[in-house]
Structure 1
Amino acid sequence: MGGVKCLTASKRRWVMLCILLGLGLSSLGSAIVNIALPNISRSFASSDAAAVWVVNAYQLSATICLLPVASLAESLGLKRVYAAGLAIFILASVGCAFAPTLPILVSARLIQGAGAAGVAVAGVAFVRVVYPHRMVSKGLALVALAVAIPGALGPTIAAAILAVAKWPWLFLVNVPFGLAVPLFIAAAPPDLRVARSLDLTGTALNALAFGLFVVGVGTLGTGDGPIATGEIVAGLFCLGLFVRQQLQHPMPMLPFDLFRIPLFTLSVWTSVCSYAAQILAYVSLPFLFETSMHLSAVETGFLVTPWPLMTAVTAPIAGRLTIRHPASVICSVGLTLLAVGLLLMVFLPTAPAKWDVAWRLALCGIGFGLFQTPNNTAMMTAGPVGRSGAASGMNAAARYIGWSLGSALVSLIFGLGGDRGAISCMVAAMAFALMGAATSSARRFR
């Protein structure tokens, strides 16, 4: 890769610091806001279902932008796309903090999600530019930690901030890290570019397909069935047009060659189901704790922490287990444990002790940790080495598609479920976890 030979060890450290900061912020952007949703809902006098769109907008925007941004990264260069993505993310954080209305906050989160897509796609791929071939695995290990640790600490960080400040500070804490943008531009080497134009038709169809479908699922929660049905049908129609257009394109954004590998395709679907289960629980838990159990936002943040904390602890152990045991088995066991933990949350006592909640969520975290690393390994190694970039893009896309679908379902369930909305979300999350376990098991026969 271009630039490796002229990159000193000192510059490499600075570049990696900037990359890890950006990836950590984008991961934190997904995890830190959930705890504050009830506060945001009260601040704008909005419904719970409407407030959930603060999460939905971020996930949806990132999902829509992943494939087009990956294409742009090849033509404009990873350096430009990463720097632009991080700058957009930071500026949108300021917009979120000072948003005077919920619609403006949601709009700022849409922009923030687009920036996060640039960071996610270009940041991981830039590791191959920064490190010589023999050291790439070291860089990818650092990337995994940069994504996992903020995700694990997100609820705790949110609780600590909300203990001393109001929810806008959840976004303002990102602003000082904007210094990483000029530092990255100065230190990062130039990278190779491919003569490739952006597929505008494919980009538009991709946005319409995912956007209309997710918005339609959320609209169902408002009780406006005809409009919601129209949005969902239109989204599915655009998805069909998108796939057809990509099949005819000489350089498609969708990696059809990888989808012809059953192991890869099943790993993608396992990932979608699992991340949908995760976000269904993550977004609904604050409402369960603050509305039903009357806990403060700070207490809620600390009470949610066992899940991501145990995920961070279990993920490296699962990676070592993958060396000796099939990934399909480890993932299936993990997702079954996740489903059991969610089922136990459904049957919480009426006035549970905090310990009763904590050990159940810890079980969920252990199960999710057992799934995450083996499934990512299976997905990244299912295809040829030369297609690692495309596999990485689909890995991120599967994660964001699952999050977007789960977030939209939370809006639907809260719109229809009344006071039992949070419990209904747990049941839906359990169903997705079991579907993921079944899909993972199918890999044993491929």
Structure 2
Amino acid sequence: MALFSSQPGDEGLPGFERGLAMAAVMTMAAMVVFDGSMINIALPQIARSLNASVGATVWVANGYLLSAAMTLAIFAALSSRLGFRSVFIFGLSVFTLASVGCALSTSLDMLIAMRVLQGIGGAATLSIGPAILRSVFPNRLLGRVLGLNALLIGTSTAIAPILGGTILSTLSWQWLFAINIPLGIIAMLLALRVVPHNPALKREPFDYAGAVLSAVALGALVMAADAFTHQGNSDLITALIYGGIAIFTGMAFVWVQRRATKPLLPLNIFASSRFSLAALTSLASFVSQGITFIALPFLFQSVYGYSALVSALLFTPWPIGIILAAPHAGRLADRYSAAIISTIGLSIFAVGLALLAMLPEHAQAWDICLRSLLCGIGFGCFQSPNNREMLSNASRENSGYASGVLAIMRTFGQCLGAAFVGVLMSIYAQSSAIHISLWLAVIATVLAIVLSVSRLRGYKLAAG
């Protein structure tokens, strides 16, 4: 296979060891996707099993997201001081052991605590996963391997609801966490075998002030997004308070980073306009995806009257589209302009979203599936080339930071998308709010296209 063949001058690991390292990173990525997608559908059963209220049980999902968001930037910074190998193995160990704790939980408080630990472990691995792939693969294959990574995530996203529903129909919710244990052991053995040590680690003081400010800012942003998804004046006030905290601490974080001798996140990583524009493009696209993933279940179930199972199946064409497009887009990005390919993907994505927004009042399932498939193909064409653009426009010593920025853009794009839907749901009737949300997703994608096209001007200037 060309992906694992070596050529003179290749960076990274030899071919066979590349494959093992890729398997370790992708196994962990699959675990995180499965964990997030399957747990949400198990919340009602968890509430009944632990005699907890639905509102309190939601923190099984929110606790994970909050702890992951608060630590993404910290682990990205630690990777340059401790090494990719140490941080990845730490995260993998914490995630796997916390999965054992989740499976053995006998109370809601214990389960939430274990989910918080899971989030910390997940953040440690997700923040540097793409950076590890860059460190073990040569630049000529970077787009291809990122395409395969997107393919795996798309496949896992498609399978997760079906697998989760199957497990819950025959076994208890604890088994949703237990399946992480063998996968975690396999990933651990592979990581210990092949994930390399960083050749030259930075023995530098840690930016504790930056770490605290980043954790508070990112955590407050998640809390604000969560509050926006609920209705009521008190929730709106809470969201505004958290939003204010996020803005204040975010500004303080930037101020500290500009003056710190060894900052948590070197702001010079954004000196490359291509990196910055790729990051902003990623943020806008994930805002769009976040809006759509929240709005569509309401459309399918509340407006069209489909069951929860049918609604899950109607989502399946989206990840299938990613599966079909992402590997080819990644290979093309290794040969041609990643910015051009990702812009084409965004354009297809925008068309698919517009078609979803224009669904008739009594839409047929096949019609919904075709429109969702187009969205998935467009997003699959966009994601891996754009990720390649981000990673390749950061120096190898900053690849851990770049990987962390990528994870932050994805996490907070989806959070902001959910917040927008929550605001619209509190203002308009449900049917109107859903359709306005879908058109807002189109607008966010158009913004992403504008940002992506701006990179093409950068290419022309560089060529000139």
Give the TM-score, by structure 2 length.
Answer: 0.80
Show CA shifts across 1:162-217 (max 9, x none).
Answer: 14525554433223223236524753476244313432211110011122133124
Match for residue 304 of structure 1 among 311, 315, 319: 315
Distance across 2 between alignment mates of 1:144 and 1:318:
7
Please show how residues 67-216 of structure 1 align to structure 2 within 5 Å.
Answer: 67-96=73-102, 108-127=114-133, 131=136, 141-142=144-145, 144-166=147-169, 169-180=175-186, 183-184=189-190, 186-188=192-194, 191-192=197-198, 193-216=201-224
Where does structure 2 lack aligned partners over 5 or more consecutive residues?
Answer: 1-12, 459-464
- Equivalent position of 1:445 in the other structure: 457
Shift of 1:411: 4.3
Shift of 1:239: 0.4
Distance across 1 between alignment mates of 2:43 and 2:377:
25
Shift of 1:380: 2.4
**Per the alignment, in what secondary structure is the counterpart of residue 443 of structure 2?**
helix
Q: Which deviates more from structure 2 when the two are superposed, residues 428-437 or residues 288-297?
A: 288-297
Please show how residues 15-414 of structure 1 align to structure 2 within 5 Å.
Answer: 16-33=22-39, 46=54, 57-96=63-102, 108-127=114-133, 131=136, 141-142=144-145, 144-166=147-169, 169-180=175-186, 183-184=189-190, 186-188=192-194, 191-192=197-198, 193-220=201-228, 221-222=230-231, 223-224=233-234, 225-322=236-333, 326-414=337-425
8 Å contact from structure 1 (residues 219, 227) kept in 2: yes
1:437/1:156 CA distance change after superposition, 3 Å: same
Distance across 2 between alignment mates of 1:294 and 1:45:
26
Distance across 1 between alignment mates of 2:66 and 2:85:
24
Show CA shifts across 1:265-306 (max 9, x none).
Answer: 111110001012112222343343344434344333322111
Distance across 1 between alignment mates of 2:379 and 2:345:
6
Shift of 1:430: 2.2
RMSD: 3.6
Show CA shifts across 1:46-70 (max 9, x none).
Answer: 36xx877665554443333222112
**Per the alignment, in what secondary structure is the counterpart of residue 352 of structure 1?**
coil
Where does structure 1 lack aligned partners over 5 or more consecutive residues?
Answer: 1-6
Shift of 1:10: 7.4
Residue 120 of structure 2 aligns to which amino acid in structure 1? A
Shift of 1:255: 3.2
Shift of 1:441: 1.9
1:28/1:413 CA distance change after superposition, 3 Å: farther
Q: Which deviates more from structure 2 when the two are superposed, residues 26-35 or residues 358-367?
A: 26-35
8 Å contact from structure 1 (residues 152, 309) kept in 2: yes
Show CA shifts across 1:2-47 (max 9, x none).
Answer: xxxxx99877765553333112222434444556678778986636
1:190/1:149 CA distance change after superposition, 3 Å: closer
Q: Which deviates more from structure 2 when the two are superposed, residues 320-329 or residues 88-97?
A: 320-329
8 Å contact from structure 1 (residues 27, 151) kept in 2: no
- Equivalent position of 2:439 in the other structure: 427
1:107/1:430 CA distance change after superposition, 3 Å: farther
What is the aligned length? Answer: 437
Q: Which deviates more from structure 2 when the two are superposed, residues 31-40 or residues 256-265?
A: 31-40
1:331/1:201 CA distance change after superposition, 3 Å: same
